[in-house]
Amino acid sequence: MNTSKKLILVLVAAAALVSQVFAHHSTSGIYHEDQELELTGTVQEWAFINPHPYLTITAPDATGVMRDWDISYGGAAVVHLQRQGYTKETLALGEAITVKGHPARKEGVYGLLMEGGGNIPTRADGTPVVKGGSMF
Amino acid sequence: MKYRITVFSTAVRILGSAVLLGLAGPGQAASSDIPDLDGLWSRPTCQGGGFGGCTVLREDDARLTERARAYQAVIDEMAQPKYDCAPMPIPHMWTDPYSFKIEQLEDRVLIYYGKDDVVRTIWLEGHGHPDPAINEFFYFGHADGHYEDGALVVVTDKFTFDPQGLNADFRIPSSTQKQLTERFSIDNGNLKLEVSTVDAFFLKEPWEFTVYSSPVQELDANWTCELDGARRSLRFETSKYPDDPDPARINY
């Protein structure tokens, strides 16, 4: 697989990866929580807003076609991401980043749920975009 | 002048004795009954510090009535008020991870939630606050409170019907029969909150949980819900109903 279009689809044991962003937020109907997908793309939008911040990146799908991917932090709100070090300025438009999470189930839309908010996107040089840690 | 001082000091003594003897006005608690709840409190957690597990009314919870299950089946995710920035209801609000503030005033208690910009007013009994009319209902209900045995006891009813009234994540509604009893007290410096919820139409038995909060220095930042953030995940939902509006919903 072409490393410049780094798209890795990995099926893993459900028990190892199934997680919930919050104990009572139901995302299992929306995302394949037994699958993990890693994407490298460029930031199109970084919306640091309540109730749920979101990130859009442009990255290739499984066939190599460029898509806009909606990257979700699940049930997390601004205050929770702030505790991990996020701000409105954390991600710049056009910046290259790599994200990892569970792909959306619905066909025709492209989305990724970052597992429990614990997956921190990384910049081109491999450093995480924030320090991370507990959201609480 | 000496006479005035004597009258004043006598009055102070009588008043002090009344307080000591618990002879406060009708509906008002003796000071020993009033816990110091005033301040900023951390997100509620279960005994032992875990988040959420003790509080959640699950999608397939055995306490749900057949009517609740029927509503769950009919009201799909697309139609949930939260996508229009409707606040989390109570008691769901207590199960979300946000700090909150309690302000104790003489005749009422205010609760400022760190989520959804919600402020609840607890009307303390014995201060002449009017009861709501028979035909008045409220999103957060009408809350009456009183102090007893070192706790603030709050009974809230008169809720509007709410399609996410018992749980906004699993589409569990609440009816105008929903009633909450909350008991706030101090336990080893932490706030202890015991919540019991009944709803004759949607719960077979009371839904009860106890959570704890510790003092914190500051409240979470201002909330300000934005529709883009609220509705973003709708694009990944599939509606059961073909005549639904576009997932981006209605432009108001």
- In tens digits, what is the pLDDT along chain B, a chain of 252 residues? 444 444 444 444 444 444 443 444 445 677 778 999 999 999 999 987 666 678 888 889 999 999 999 999 998 888 889 999 999 999 999 988 899 999 999 999 999 999 999 999 999 999 999 999 999 999 999 999 999 999 999 999 999 999 999 998 889 999 999 999 999 999 999 999 999 999 999 999 999 999 999 999 988 777 899 998 998 888 888 888 888 777 666 554
Q: Tokens 């070192």 label which residue?
A: B150
* Model ipTM value: 0.80
Query: Residue B18 contacts by C-beta under 8 Å, 6 or more apart in sequence?
Result: B24
Q: Are B234 and B249 in contact (CB under 8 A)?
A: yes
Query: Residue A22 contacts by C-beta under 8 Å, 6 or more apart in sequence?
Result: A74, A75, A76, B51, B52, B96, B97
Closest Cβ–Cβ partner in A24, A51, A111 for B169: A24
pTM: 0.83
CB-based contact A136 B98, cutoff 8 Å? no
Query: What domains does chain A contain, in order, with CATH numbers?
Result: 7-123 (2.40.50.140)
Q: Minimal Cα–Cα distance from B5 to chain A, Å?
A: 56
CB-based contact A109 B114, cutoff 8 Å? no
CB-based contact B220 A79, cutoff 8 Å? yes
